[in-house]
Chains A and B, each alone.
Chain A
Amino acid sequence: MQNKLFLSLLLALILPLAHAGEAVPTVDDVVLEKRVMAVSGELRCLVCQNQTIADSHAELAVDLRNQVREKLRQGMSEQEIKDYMVARYGDFVLYRPLMKRGTWLLWFGPFLLLVLAFGVLIVKLRQRRKAIQQAPVLSADEHARAESLLSGTDKVARP
């Protein structure tokens, strides 16, 4: 706890330096800040697409975090903020893809591949077992010959 307090104090000291000249968001409300980060962690930064706006240092991400903070202050719910972002930037802004028809392949594709792979494996194993079972049974004569071939004492086949 003390560590966290120290960290947020440190952040409060550093943040104004990082954005000198801009309107500096007050980091006085720790609870609010936590919610800002929680919501921001669900939103994709469209500039650096593999980061959330909570992680990104892109200027747009900073602006959007400020928007999130402002909307939370106005009493908007987290869902309302997400809807606000989707209305402007599209579904892609959600870091966790929505479950809908267009994303079914994305969500279930890997499992589909897994099932497919298991299917192929089972078919292959069955084929092999069948091949083993259907291997021709040797007669007593053939058996004796095979044995002599293997032991190198074969006299029959040699001309």
Chain B
Amino acid sequence: MNRFLFPLVAFIVLVIFLGIGLNLKPREVPSPLIDKPAPAFRVPQLYEEVKTIAPEEMRGKVWLLNVWASWCVTCREEHPLLVELARQNLVPIYGLNYKDKREDAIAWLAERGNPYVVTAHDLSGNVGIDYGVYGVPETFVIDKLGIIRYKQIGPVTPEALRDKIIPLVKELNGAK
């Protein structure tokens, strides 16, 4: 009895550990920027090169910053959701077009719809580095004081919208 008990227990413990390991998401590295002020930047707008955009202009409202690129395949997956979210008028979405050619980005939005109030054009990717972007798409929820409150790594999913992003936006809008 005892002879079989120990290997059995050891096996079960091993299975539990492996199971936990399988369910971890090593791709999702927690951002140190949560609850920190959104890094400042000033870059040209996508549609009007001569105009710039900076995060401090959004002070006083809750907004989303969606990092995307026309070369990013997963962005195609999440885009319809963003278009739908923009239609619902729940929260303004600003785009950060990351390391992309201007004409490619504009063509991409023309084809798929433009959910963004304004899109910032980060050609060099330096804004992305300041925001700790390492895989496009990424989406930040930023509050009225310009503090990053949440970061979605990878595409925005219907579950993430329903369970995290929309409740958080409502909560942040409720708080004065």
**CA gap between A46 and B131 in the complex, in Å:** 13
Q: Which residue of chain B is the closest to A86 with respect to CB atoms? A: B32
Across the interface, do B29 and A88 meet the contact criterion of CB distance under 8 Å? Answer: no
Residues of A within 8 A of B134 (CB): 46-47, 60, 89
How long is the Cα–Cα vector from A47 to B29 in the complex, in angstroms? 11
The secondary-structure label for the interface of chain B is loop
Tell yes or no: A90 within 8 A of B by CB: yes
The digit string for B39-71, where 1 denotes a CB below 8 A from any CB of A, is 000000000000000000000000000000000
Cβ of A67 < 8 Å from any Cβ of B? yes
Interface 0/1 of B67-101, CB less than 8 Å to A: 00000000000000000000000000000000100
B157 within 8 A of A: no
CA distance A46 to B30 in the complex (A): 12
Contacts of B129 in A (CB 8 A): 63-64, 67, 88
- For chain A residues 78-103, which have a beta carbon within 8 Å of chain B? 86-92
Q: Mark B121-145, 1 if CB is under 8 A from A, else 0.
A: 0000100011110110000000000
* A4 to B45 CA separation, bound complex (whole angstroms): 45
Cross-chain contact of B99 among A47, A59, A67, A91 (Cβ < 8 A): A59
Check A49 for interface membership: any CB of B closer than 8 A.
Answer: yes
B38 to nearest A CB, angstroms? Answer: 12
Q: A121–B153 Cα gap in the complex (Å)? A: 47
In the assembled complex, how far is the CB of residue B98 from the closest CB belonging to chain A, in whole angstroms? 10
For A47-91 the 0/1 string (1 means CB < 8 A from B) is 101000000000110011001000000000000000000111111
B125 touches which one: A46, A63, A90 (CB < 8 A)?
A63
Minimum CB–CB distance from A90 to chain B (whole Å) comes to 4
**Residue contact B32 to A90, C-beta cutoff 8 Å:** yes
A92-B33 Cα distance, complex, nearest whole Å: 13
Cβ-defined contact, A90 with B26, below 8 A = no
> Which of chain B's residues have a CB closer than 8 A to the CB of A59?
99
B176 → chain A, closest Cβ, in Å? 30
User: Which residue of the partner chain A has the closest CB to B131?
Assistant: A88
Residue of B30, B99, B131 touching A90 (CB-CB under 8 A): B30
Nearest-neighbour CB distance to chain B for A47, whole angstroms, equals: 6
Tell me, rounded to whole Å, the shortest Cβ–Cβ distance linking A52 to chain B.
14
Cα of A91 to Cα of B125 in the assembled complex, Å: 21
Q: Check A90/B132 contact, CB under 8 A, given A46-B29, A63-B125.
A: yes
Whole-angstrom CA separation of A90 from B26 in the bound complex: 13
Hey, which bits of chain B sit against chain A, CB under 8 A? 26-27, 29-33, 99, 125, 129-132, 134-135
- Sample of 5 A–B contacts (CB below 8 Å): A49-B27, A63-B125, A63-B129, A90-B32, A92-B29
